[in-house]
Chains A and B, each alone.
Chain A
Amino acid sequence: MRPSRAYAGRGMADSIDKLQMSITKRYGGKVVLDHFPLEVGGREFVTFLGPSGCGKSTALGIIAGLVPPSDGEIHLNGRRIDDVSPEKRGFGMVFQNYALFPHLTVFGNVAFGLSLQKRPSAEIEQRVRDMLGLVRLAGYEDRYPGQLSGGQQQRVAIARALELHPRLMLFDEPLSNLDAKLRVEMRAEIKQLHAQLGLTSIYVTHDQAEALSLSDRIVVLREGVLMQVGTPQEIHDRPKNVFVADFMGFRNFLDVTLGKEAGGMIDAGFKGQILQARARDSFRPGEHAVLAIRPEDVRLGKSGDGVNVLRGKVELVEYLGREQEAEIALNGDARLWVRSHEKLVLGEMLDLTLPADKFVLLRRE
């Protein structure tokens, strides 16, 4: 990708080197963020992921300066910035509801920050046009936000923030007001812009697909507490706890009692049966634990060696297009979700194999 003219001549050097913080936020007596630690490196794309009310947007607001932290400090390139007002931090922000100025045209919106800096109008004109070209909105200069679609409005909002060459871009659930198709398209556009411009970005979302596809690193939050930080692959494949696993699409959680460990494998007692899982440090025999597995990792039929096979009856079938997801009633009150390309019939008895290397062993909460 050729660097665009909108950013030509300034390279990518304005981006930050390091953002460090550890903050606490209380509303009334309620702790919304509890010593939330974060370190973001230059040109990194970090995502805050979590359900609504987990404190991710508050954390972003604190970084932006729009929300005062109750406690803690934020350092940018080694300099403390939590007492700097948001308009002086030089960050760009994109909001969930776009927050375009309705009384200004697309041009007026994108030019807003530059005109506050009292740049010559010829420069403003040129830069705004280049920027609108970059977000593929050339020719829309004279439209008003109310005359644009949601996707176009969000592109104007992104252009407006990028126009000031922010040191750090903050995205507050920018795609959640868009429909599913547009969301995927805009996601790709944001990804491309990031690759093209190398802007350090912090992105807030509750959508795991967005987080996985965009991020260099994901920060998973729950009720103001950091649950796990890692690359998308780490978060996806090796969740550290039931919460993260649940968020990452592990739909099956088996309560087990651990048994003996041998050759890197550990025995796990489940409803009178012995399952085998890959052993992990710090788990001891006799301990109660949870085995998590995704529905798509459960295989239909018996494996060759007969290990980790469960039998159950199809209770519910959800049609997903290419596949089906079914809830299987095992003996007792246990349930297991299975995903399959094959047609599953209600009431049918099935053998299921749970591959030992697909299990994630987690502590019971």
Chain B
Amino acid sequence: MARIRSDSRSELDLVAILCLAPSLLYVLAMFVYPFLYGIYISLQPKKRDAGIFSNYVAFFNDAYQYNTIKTTFMLALPTTVAVVLVALFLAYGMRRGIWFERTITTILVLPISLGVVFLSEGILGFYGHNGWLNQLLLAAGLIQNPLELTHNSIGVTFSLFMQNFPFCFLMLLGYISGIDPSLESSARMLGAGPWTIFRRVMFPLIAPGLIIAFALVFVMSFAVFPSAVMVGQPAGSTRTISIAAYQQAFEQYDMSYASAIAVIMGLCQLAALVVIVLVRRRMTIATTMGVGKR
């Protein structure tokens, strides 16, 4: 078997191509083609006489537009850090199983099944200006004026956290509980306390998975749209880049400019991924040499 493989390495393996075909077709039809088409549209500005890059030039010359990158970044980054840290803390605590583990996991993961709109409605109802939380705190006399937790970046952060946490938690829980428990035992026998075990044994082994989780949560948060509209302040502090693209497409009816913004958004996500993957490679060069998951 191995011999056949090495002999025909230079040739194209027909069976392999056939097996790959469905997924290749899917990627081509659902990702590559729309993406390239989007780039193509973005290069054909609405104004006939403008240059092909005029949409991009316009975006980066307009503070109202290019600031959306910063706005989105400032929403996505803190949310991602919070999601990853809380998920790491909980998943690490649950790595050897706890009482009612299934129930707790279900509760933690439930938001994933609810959908963003429902979640945002819930946030409005609970954390909103006249929401339960404010009514409770007012009634208890703990605050004089309602806390403004929605229709600003705090609300969007809440919403993003709830959307992305379950996914990150499940991913890390699987990753961490896959680490051989006898590594911890052997570290203890060598004199390591719980904190040392985490710092010197477990964290280096979790880090590769943690970084991947971080990357995925970041990219998902960067694309935030519904919650930025519903629980954010889409005209102001939470005017994310996806809202900018939406406005061009469905308020200004400039599909070309909208596509250009979407492409810029994609490039931002790609840039973030590249940076994260480079960091990962540097950090885990040693680990990947020897480990492999058992």
| From A87, A93, A100, contact of B193 by CB (8 A) | A87
Shortest Cβ distance from residue A108 to the other chain B in the assembled complex, whole angstroms: 9
Is B189 in contact with A116, judged by CB distance below 8 angstroms? no
Is B186 in contact with A87, judged by CB distance below 8 angstroms? no
- CB under 8 Å from chain B, chain A span 132-148: 144-147
A116 to B200, CA, bound (A): 10
Shortest Cβ distance from residue B195 to the other chain A in the assembled complex, whole angstroms: 11
Is A95 in contact with B185, judged by CB distance below 8 angstroms? yes
- CB under 8 Å from chain A, chain B span 157-214: 180, 182-183, 185-193, 196, 200-201, 204-205
A146 to B205, CA, bound (A): 14
Shortest Cβ distance from residue B28 to the other chain A in the assembled complex, whole angstroms: 37
A65 to B188, CA, bound (A): 9
Is A87 in contact with B185, judged by CB distance below 8 angstroms? no
Shortest Cβ distance from residue B30 to the other chain A in the assembled complex, whole angstroms: 38
Known contacts A66-B185, A95-B182, A146-B289; decide if A103 and B196 are in contact (CB<8 Å).
Answer: no
Q: Report the contact-size class of chain A (Cβ under 8 Å from the partner).
A: 20 to 34
B22 within 8 A of A: no
Is A87 in contact with B189, judged by CB distance below 8 angstroms? yes
Residue of B nearest to A110 (CB): B190
Give the residues in chain A near B115, CB-CB below 8 Å. Answer: none
Give the residues in chain A near B196, CB-CB below 8 Å. Answer: 116
Is A103 in contact with B185, judged by CB distance below 8 angstroms? no
Shortest Cβ distance from residue B285 to the other chain A in the assembled complex, whole angstroms: 10
B290 within 8 A of A: yes
A113 to B188, CA, bound (A): 9
| From A113, A144, A146, contact of B190 by CB (8 A) | A113
B291 within 8 A of A: yes
Known contacts A97-B180, A117-B191, A146-B290; decide if A102 and B205 are in contact (CB<8 Å).
Answer: yes
A113 to B191, CA, bound (A): 6
B292 within 8 A of A: yes
| From B180, B182, B191, B291, contact of A103 by CB (8 A) | B291
Is B182 in contact with A164, judged by CB distance below 8 angstroms? no
A41 to B193, CA, bound (A): 29
Shortest Cβ distance from residue B38 to the other chain A in the assembled complex, whole angstroms: 42
Is B182 in contact with A99, judged by CB distance below 8 angstroms? yes
Known contacts A101-B201, A103-B287, A146-B289; decide if A116 and B192 are in contact (CB<8 Å).
Answer: yes
Residue of B nearest to A147 (CB): B290
Give the residues in chain A near B291, CB-CB below 8 Å. Answer: 102-103, 144, 146
Known contacts A99-B183, A103-B205; decide if A91 and B189 are in contact (CB<8 Å).
Answer: yes
A294 within 8 A of B: no
Is A144 in contact with B189, judged by CB distance below 8 angstroms? no
A283 within 8 A of B: no
Is A103 in contact with B204, judged by CB distance below 8 angstroms? yes
Is B180 in contact with A147, judged by CB distance below 8 angstroms? no
| From B180, B192, B204, contact of A99 by CB (8 A) | B180
For the complex with contacts A87-B192, A93-B189, A97-B180, 7 further pairs of A-B residues with Cβ separation under 8 Å are A64-B185, A99-B182, A100-B186, A112-B187, A113-B190, A116-B190, A146-B289
**20 pairs across A/B with beta carbons < 8 Å?**
A65-B188, A66-B185, A85-B193, A86-B188, A87-B189, A87-B191, A87-B192, A88-B191, A93-B186, A96-B182, A97-B180, A99-B180, A99-B186, A100-B186, A104-B286, A112-B190, A144-B286, A144-B289, A144-B291, A147-B290
